[in-house]
Amino acid sequence: MIPVEERLQQAEHAISGIERLANGYLETLAGKVVRDNAVHASSLEQHQFIAHGYAWVATYLEALRQLADWSGRLLEQGGFTELDQAVFKTGTGAYLQQLLHGIAMSQDEVFRPGDIPSPAILAELMADGSINELIRDGNTIENRVRVAELLAGGEQPVDPTLDPTLTLVREQFRRFADEEIAGQAGVWHRQDSLISSGLIRQLAEMGVFAVCIPEQYGGHASGKLAMCVITEELSRGYLGVGSLATRSEIAAELILKAGTEEQKRRYLPGIASGDILPAVLVTEPDAGSDLAGLKTRAVKAGDCYGITGNKTWSTHAGRANLMVLLARTDPAHKGYRGLSMFLVDKPGGTDAEPFPLQGMSGSEIPVLGYRGMKEYEISFDGCKTGPDGLLGGVEGQGFRQLMASFEAGRLQTAARAVGVAQNALELALDYARQRVQFGKPILAFPRVAGKIGWMAVEIMLLRQLVYYAARQADTGRRCDVEAGMAKMLSARVAWSCADNALQIHGGNGYATEFDISRVLCDARVLSIFEGSAEIQANIIARGLLKRRL
């Protein structure tokens, strides 16, 4: 058996080699899409497949770096358990294998090393005995099964990357999710009903909506990492509950970064306390990711604006009492420059009358999962803003303001995905221990245990990537690339875990009475909203190309 210290050194050697491979890909890609020291949009679109493949390579590479960092910290602290070592070995071996032989970007799209020619370095890495040893000894069914066995025995991977305060926060919200959320999640999903106002008030009292808001505006200023830890645990209980804070996070980020001082004092304390529940209205029936195509108009009338147009996929908009809305103020500019962001006060609606505001009407969009807040299509017909409704007080800044808030939203979404994946793992493990077939629990069968073991391994890879991105944000660094990596990988891992967990449940998993059927529906949306997987890949590739310039 290879000593742990030596295996970690091998992993660092392998990561160094993959860095050289990724740099080779980047140079080749740059040669195809960079013109006059700038990324050429049409060329990037033409070479989209290899650009997105490179984005996945870069994401896997960063995940491996963070897994190695996690392992190194455990080793330094003398607490590298058998389970931790199995997670490290399996994750390192599996991701190295995919990097050298092919990464599944979706169910039917595999990026292979030959798609971006790098023959010399690729041949060197594939012949490297140390790397081959990591793959051969790490990504084995025996290791995956052992991870599942240790989990079934009550062990959990250790996370030394959280300080004692955040560890206590995690435990607090884990208990809350188990005691107050998990038992109600199935009811909210099956009845397609709103999460209770009482539970929202409990979340507010626990400070969920105040995590990232500065203390001077009534918040806790705890940072993005704390937000991710809390969001993960709430989403482990139910995605809908973990998502309640998403709109508050995005709205607060927008107001904090772009609002006037008066707007900050007016709205941020209410958002922090939970008295103001925001909805963010950006998407339109004919404009999703293509924000330059937005048609909703905002026309100035005195010291107010009149909003006319349509928004769709407006989450929690019925009960919300603040709408953060993107509209076009300058019809002469058909692209991004003519867009502005607005803060529109709205009475909180009821089930019977979700939109009790003159000039505004809406209808619910029935959805497969991600329930508890409801989705709406909304029509505006001269709906009036208040005198201080233009965010920042200057027209034409809406697109720039929104882009600055996306990092926070995508980080929060990545944390939601970790929670969903963890929920699927726990449901699969519990079921596999209890379900007896052929005279023994199905956990005893290697392909069942192997699936569970791999879930735990990839969740740890993902969790460390999300925490890394959050720490980057907390240091004040721009982390659009890192947040995109976390969001892109997290969505795929959550879906993979939910799908495997349902497979372990067999026919019972397809029954609505079993929670895993709900989790599968919830997991599917994660690669769509807050920027699809394809959009994230584009952001990552473009961002890394720009960093190269």
Residue 181 per-residue DSSP state: I
> Is residue 189 helix, strand or coil?
helix
Token pair of 372 as six digits: 């508890």
The answer to whether the beta carbons of residues 421 and 497 sit under 8 Å apart is yes
| DSSP secondary structure letters along 249-297 | HHHHHHHHHHS-HHHHHHHHHHHHHTSS-EEEE--BTTBSS-GGG---E
Counts for the chain of helices (H) and strands (E), in that order: 19, 13
Cα-based angle 59, 498, 166 (whole degrees, multiple of 5): 65
Contact 93, 137 (CB under 8 A): yes
Other C-beta atoms lying within 10 Å of the C-beta of residue 163: 10
Distance CA 77, CA 303 (A): 61
Q: Report how far residue 548's alpha carbon sits from residue 543's, in angstroms, rounded to the nearest whole number.
A: 9
- Our measurement of the distance from residue 456's CA atom to the centroid of its chain's CA atoms, rounded to an integer in Å, reads 18
Rounded CA-CA distance 35/30 in Å is 9
Which residues, in sequence order, are CB contacts of 303 under 8 Å at separation 6+? 387
Strands (DSSP E) contained in 394-437 are 436-437
Query: Taken in order 441, 443, 444, 446, is the CA torsion positive or negative?
Result: positive
Distance CA 129, CA 336 (A): 52
d(C-alpha 351, C-alpha 366), whole Å:
14
* Distance in Å from the first CA to the final CA of the chain: 45
In Å, how far from its chain's centre is CA 278? 20
Please state, in angstroms and rounded to a whole number, the distance separating the CA atoms of residues 471 and 381: 43
Burial class of residue 288 in the structure, from the number of CB atoms within 10 Å of its CB (0-12 exposed, 13-18 middle, 19+ buried): middle
Q: Please tell me which residue in 249, 482, 530, 534 is annotated as part of the active site.
A: 530
Q: Output the six-digit token pair for 451.
A: 């699936």
Residue 196, number of CB atoms within 10 A of its CB: 12
Question: Would you call 155 a catalytic residue per the annotation?
Answer: no
Determine the Cα–Cα distance for residues 39 and 32; give it in Å rounded to an integer: 10
Active centre residues (catalytic) = 530
